[in-house]
Amino acid sequence: MARWVDCGVEFVTGDVIRWIEPVWAPRARKSDKARKIGYRLMMAQVMRCDAEWASLEVMDCKQELLEGWSADKLEGGIKRRRGPIGQGNAQRALVGDQSARAITASRYLNEAEGPAPAAPKAAAPHPDNWPPALPRSGGAVRTARKGYRRRGPKTRHVPRGK
């Protein structure tokens, strides 16, 4: 079994990485709020990458979804932004000769990449703790809070007797 080290967005062509990404429910309308229905544990090899995007070949995809939902497993080649992969607590497999990787990962060879992306904004489940705790179903109907809904015609108080 391979050893994994945290890498965030610091991966290069040829690395085998794994990360967790959310699975979203399909939206009926564009204006609907997106709903998280589970997580995917992705394992892929980096085929090509630049400062913002990475082309990946999926090796394994495990899903953990809320009850009653289904989603297709990803296969073949996919393209993802580096930022969300880093937010999913990306890990890199330690395999083979690390000195060859050092040449590929040299910051002097990849100066066109620009500055490193910022740290992740939200905490995602960690790949070592699989399967993660799923989000709440959110199936309850939400109504407006008291006092925000106006009922009947707008009236003005008029004192009596005058």
Q: What is the pLDDT of residue 111?
A: 47
Q: Helix, strand, or coil here: 4?
A: strand
Rounded Cα distance between 44 and 23, Å, is 17
The whole-angstrom separation of Cα 75 and Cα 80 is: 14
pLDDT given at position 47: 93
Beta strands in 8-112 (DSSP E): 16-24, 36-49, 53-65, 77-81, 91-94
Predicted local distance difference test score (pLDDT) of residue 134: 75
According to DSSP, the residues that pair with 40 across neighbouring strands are 21, 63
Position 97 scores a pLDDT of 62
Give the pLDDT confidence score for residue 162 in this predicted structure.
60
Q: Can you list the residues of the chain whose pLDDT is less than 70?
A: 1, 96-124, 135-155, 162
User: pTM score, two decimals?
Assistant: 0.65
Instruction: Provide the mean pLDDT of the chain.
Output: 78
Residue positions counted in the chain = 162
Q: Could you read off the pLDDT of 97-117 as tens digits, one per residue?
A: 666 666 555 555 544 445 555
Structure confidence at residue 132 (pLDDT): 76
Torsion region of 114: left, alpha or beta (phi above 0 gives left; psi -120 to 50 gives alpha): left
Q: How many domains does the chain have?
A: 1
